[in-house]
A and B are shown apart, each in its own frame.
Chain A
Amino acid sequence: MKHTLSVIVENHPGVLTRVATLFRRRSYNIDSLTVGRTENPTVSRMTIVVEGDDVLIEQVVKQLHKLVEVIKITDITDDPSVDRELVLVKVRADTQVRAEIMQIVEIFRARIVDIGRNTLIIEATGDENKINAIEDSLRPFGIMELVRTGKVAMVRGGK
């Protein structure tokens, strides 16, 4: 099962390397990892999606806790939360199929951000399911390039 960990770390150089080294060293599988600044300039927030059973996730959390620069870890998998991912897809789009693609873009409330002679670049944001769905819908047209940011997440309400 995929778990989403929200990890607050010191905003120090090298923290990402420490986290990445830990995952590599202990053979934990990172599904996605995003890191960015927060409202507090002294800390960063990492959103780590990691695949594994409960025993493994418990180990991941405990090992992460041992890193001196990791301040707080929350497993938000089961918490009511908002999560978003952004994807850019370059899709083959000659004139015959362009209208159809634009319809899909409309349905997913995505945006076309570049038009080439035979290609479109589509930008979409949403939760993981939506991004998977748009990826699946565009695949038959021929996806030439695709990049996903990985998930960022925030717990709902006052928590």
Chain B
Amino acid sequence: MARDGTVEPCPPEQEVRHLKMKAANVLLRCLQEEGVDVIFGYPGGVVLPIYDALHSSDIRHVLVRHEQGAAHAADAYARASGKVGVCLATSGPGATNLVTGIANAYMDSVPLVAFTGQVNTALIGKDAFQEVDITGITLPITKHNYLLRRAEDLVRVVKEAFYIARTNRPGPVLVDLPRNVMETEIEFTGYPSEVHLRGYRVVRSCNMGQVVAAAEAINRAERPVIYAGGGVINSNASELLRALAMKAKIPVTTTLMGIGSFPETHYLSLGMLGMHGTRYANYAVSECDLLIAVGARFDDRVTGKISAFAPHAKVIHIDIDAAEIGKNFAVDIPIVGDVRQVLEELVPRVEEKEHFGEWHRTIDRWKEEFPLAYGEPREPDRIKPQYVIEQIYYVTQGKAIITTEVGQNQMWAAQFYKFSQPRHFITSGGLGTMGFGLPAAIGAKIACPELPVINIAGDGSIQMNIQELGTAMQEKLPVVVCILNNHYLGMVRQWQELFFGRRYSYTDISLQPDFVKLAEAYGAVGMRVKEAHLVEAALREALEVKDRPVFIDFWVEREANVFPMVAPGESLYNMLGGDDLL
């Protein structure tokens, strides 16, 4: 009221002030604009302003039991949904607990945005309570990261973070948010529709001359093989890959990360190649005259001895990351571009082949002679682990999302479950992170609630993030954990058997919890199966449970091995073992 008693009109400045809100609230508004519907996180001191904003937000927050679980769950959510995964942790130990998960996402090119709390800007660099230099720590394991010093930059930074995470070769981006910045009142004037990053350009085209050269090489080839990696899945190009393979009748092998990019039930499928690939895939790569690498990176677990990899082949390499071209392996026809876009140009230029030639007959012969196989159990009350995987495949009709831990369980899953769709096999490929599978199953189930989600685990790996059983209980998620329990750290034991004269140094983990009781202690369902004829019924019963996780403790043959195998440093042609026996 003015002094004379009349009411003054509200000055414009005050109207603007009404639009001001805490940066923490603006952050959540931005996330909604990005289409984020779930955050995996764990609260703590400096993220209190963000948690306070979350309390009244529509965004679902999944409370994990350890921050590593948040990163893995967000990672798997991204892989299963094709969207950007989001995790949130407090400063210091909360942030460092994310590190393994961020590194995992980086190695497997998963779009992830990790938000961490940070101490007040005035305290940064003073070794304050729960202060850690998380942007410094994550420098080599993120595509990019930010320390947000000014609230005015928040909206731009969030926009850039999501943009960088999902475009080109996807990867994790970390945004470090000091507490006082999150409490600053700022105006929210809208979410930007574009970014301005002069040092970051999205690959939108490919060299057509190279595409033509690739098509000519394909048309001339007599023994071609496609080697498909995770880039096909990231690029949503599975249909195009299938079109290319079928049009030119090219056999397809996939990397671990590429599993699901081509249906493994298809007659042109060679399954996985590499260290634990099929013999016929490895032989085909060793004998081919043209290798078409699509969204793959010539990893050492794939190539074996690199100088003996695809020795007779001309090599085409399609990848969105120019730095992958020539990094590990010199190629003849490099094409930098988005797999989808390149294949769209390539497929029409490839000639349709009507007939199968000598090459296909050779491969069929290898398939007959060297199938993936396993023998009878060599111990009483123990099941063949491969049989369990086959039963999981049979019971789920190949339609489940399978997550894995790391080690033998992972390789058996890759070998014996026949995937026919992308985004259904979720595994830690590059980093090989034990403890990935259970939080990954949680993330995948939240992304795809209508699909059965099964974590194929080992008794070692499952204990690394077993606390996430609590998360699955709280969220009422019916994920099924199939522990292939051999009471060993199986893969390391296998290497000790093969390369260290059976000296089982610290790999016997017979001392372990009763997994049935442990599940029950959380309120989950626990089962134990020691006989092959009970496997199917147990799986069916587990898949009937709709409101809580299930642990099935399958006692498997203690010294079963993953075969065939390329010993480290050997060429793909030189494989050990036909079935699971040497």
Contacts and interface: CB of A to CB of B under 8 A. Distances in A.
A68 B164 contact: yes
B315 to A, nearest CB: 15
B157 to A, nearest CB: 12
A71 B135 CA distance: 21
Nearest to B160: A68
Interface in B146-204: 147, 164, 197-200
Given A68-B143, A68-B164, A59 B200 contact: no
Give chain B's interface residue range (CB within 8 Å of chain A). Answer: 10 to 19
Contact of A59 (B143, B144, B198, B327): B327
Most buried by A among B144, B164, B323, B327: B323
Contacts, number: 39
B136 A17 contact: yes
B140 A25 contact: yes
A14 B164 CA distance: 18
B150 to A, nearest CB: 12
Contact of B323 (A17, A21, A25, A66): A66
Contact of B199 (A17, A55, A71): A71
A8 to B, nearest CB: 9
Contact of B326 (A10, A59, A69): A59
Contact of B321 (A9, A18, A66): A66
B322 interface: yes
A18 B197 CA distance: 17
B109 to A, nearest CB: 12
Contacts of A21: 139-140
A62 B327 CA distance: 10
A55 B323 contact: no
Contacts of B325: 62
Interface in A1-48: 9-10, 14, 17-18, 21-22, 25
Nearest to B330: A55
Contacts of B327: 59
B322 A65 contact: yes
A71 B200 CA distance: 8
B140 A68 contact: no
A68 B136 contact: no
Contacts of A17: 136, 139
Contacts of A100: none
A67 interface: yes
Contacts of A70: 199
Contacts of B321: 66
A137 interface: no
Nearest to B321: A66
A149 interface: no
B322 A68 contact: no
B197 A68 contact: yes
A136 interface: no
A17 B145 CA distance: 12
A18 B144 CA distance: 9
Contact of A14 (B135, B140, B197, B326): B135
Contacts of B139: 17-18, 21
Contacts of B323: 59, 62-63, 65-66
B326 A68 contact: no
Given A65-B322, A68-B197, 8 more contacts: A10-B199, A17-B139, A18-B139, A59-B327, A66-B323, A67-B144, A68-B164, A71-B198
23 contacts: A10-B198, A10-B199, A14-B147, A17-B136, A17-B139, A18-B139, A21-B140, A55-B326, A55-B330, A59-B323, A59-B327, A62-B322, A62-B323, A63-B323, A65-B322, A65-B323, A67-B144, A68-B143, A68-B144, A69-B199, A70-B199, A71-B198, A71-B199
Nearest first, the 10 closest Cβ-Cβ pairs linking A and B are A62-B323, A71-B199, A68-B144, A68-B200, A25-B140, A21-B139, A62-B322, A70-B199, A71-B198, A63-B323
